[in-house]
Amino acid sequence: GDSVTQTEGQVALSEEDFLTIHCNYSASGYPTLFWYVQYPGEGPQLLFRASRDKEKGSSRGFEATYDKGTTSFHLRKASVQESDSAVYYCALSDASSSFSKLVFGQGTSLSVVP
């Protein structure tokens, strides 16, 4: 079945550091790729999504590019802030089946210190 792998379980950075969270996927068909963010005490919320090869999604300074060749959708931000501390989930949805549902990666907990 479809799957999503996030390499980093936890990331600790200082403010203004560069962030990369790796996301690779395995899917039949042509999935839509998502990044969700979960702040403490809240449910996940959509950060952004992309549905075509080479499409870049972006929001709040975060960005990721859909790469069908390497089956990747890595999350990047040039300069993180303490307020970015949260859990980040990469997910996919395969629209080729009769019911499309989200498949989530394991999540990456980001901690940013001042």
Partner 1 sequence: EAAVTQSPRSKVAVTGGKVTLSCHQTNNHDYMYWYRQDTGHGLRLIHYSYVADSTEKGDIPDGYKASRPSQENFSLILELASLSQTAVYFCASSDAAGGFAEQFFGPGTRLTVL
- Which parts of this chain interact with partner 1 (CB under 8 A)? 4, 9, 32, 41-46, 49, 51, 89, 93-95, 99-102, 104-107
Least CB distance to partner 1 at residue 79 (A): 27
Residue keyed to tokens 């068909």: 29
Closest to partner 1 by CB, 81 vs 102, is 102
Amino acid at 44: P
Smaller CB distance to partner 1: residue 18 or 30?
30
We find the least distance from the C-beta atom of residue 81 to partner 1, in angstroms, to be 23
DSSP state of 60: T
| Residue whose CB is less far from partner 1, 20 or 96 | 96
**Nearest distance from residue 77's CB to partner 1, in Å?**
21
Name which of 46 and 78 has its Cβ closer to partner 1: 46
Q: How far is the CB of 5 from partner 1 (least distance, A)?
A: 10
Instruction: Judge whether 80 and 15 are in contact, CB under 8 Å.
Output: yes
The 8-class DSSP code of residue 78 comes to: S
